[in-house]
């Protein structure tokens, strides 16, 4: 019996101190996410796309639409943090968002295109963050806790890989 938690195939996000090496790694994660996600869903049929990645979890289709929604928020958060002093950024109910109409009515290609666009913007924006900007802060509306830009970058670099791994590990288990 495997003890691996199917919800966290690459583990949970672990914040780490700033280094240029890690920054380069995270920039690569941001740059290559859309391509990796596209490869992860390649040649899946409608039945496979509608299969939950784990019992009680989101379907592959919902996972892809969720990444688009989540990283749309990531882009908006980044721009607020870059342009305002300690802004409060809005948390959102991702389970409720996953029940909204386009998750079931639009093909994942629509979200994949959006993810390509968002990741290009995130990549250019993060590539241009100056050394003294990494400690710019924001407050999260749900937790009321304060985080900084370096944390935000790491969170979403991790988040993309986290969901790609949901799909690739499902394919491995199913032999797809
Ligand atoms: Ni997520």
pTM, two decimals, is 0.96
The residues with which 88 forms a beta bridge, in sequence order, are 139
Instruction: Summarize pLDDT for 76-93 with one digit per residue, the tens.
Output: 999 999 999 999 999 999
The pLDDT value recorded for residue 1 is: 47
- Decide if pLDDT at 142 tops 90: yes
Report how far ligand 1's centroid is from the alpha carbon of 24 (Å): 22
Instruction: Summarize pLDDT for 104-130 with one digit per residue, the tens.
Output: 999 999 999 999 999 999 999 999 999
Place of tokens 């958060």: 77
Domains, the chain, ranges and CATH? 20-174 (1.20.120.450)
Q: What percent of the chain has pLDDT over 90?
A: 97
Report how far ligand 1's centroid is from the alpha carbon of 47 (Å): 22
Q: Nearest-CA neighbor of 36 among 10, 7, 12, 18?
A: 10
């Amino acid at each position: 019996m495997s003890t691996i938690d199917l919800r966290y195939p690459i583990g949970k996000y672990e914040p780490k101190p700033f280094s240029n090496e890690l920054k380069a790694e995270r920039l690569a994660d941001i740059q290559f996410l859309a391509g990796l996600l596209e490869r992860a869903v390649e040649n899946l049929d409608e039945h496979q796309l509608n299969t939950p990645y784990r019992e009680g979890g989101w379907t592959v289709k919902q996972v892809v639409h969720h990444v688009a929604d989540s990283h749309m928020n990531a882009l908006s958060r980044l721009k607020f943090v870059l342009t305002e002093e300690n802004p409060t950024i809005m948390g959102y109910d991702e389970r409720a968002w996953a029940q909204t109409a386009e998750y079931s009515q639009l093909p994942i290609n629509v979200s994949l295109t959006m993810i390509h666009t968002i990741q290009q913007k995130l990549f250019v924006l993060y590539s241009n963050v100056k050394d003294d900007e990494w400690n710019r802060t924001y407050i999260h509306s749900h937790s009321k806790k304060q985080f900084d830009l370096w944390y935000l970058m790491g969170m979403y670099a991790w988040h993309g890989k986290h969901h790609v791994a949901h799909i690739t590990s499902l394919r491995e288990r199913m032999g797809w």
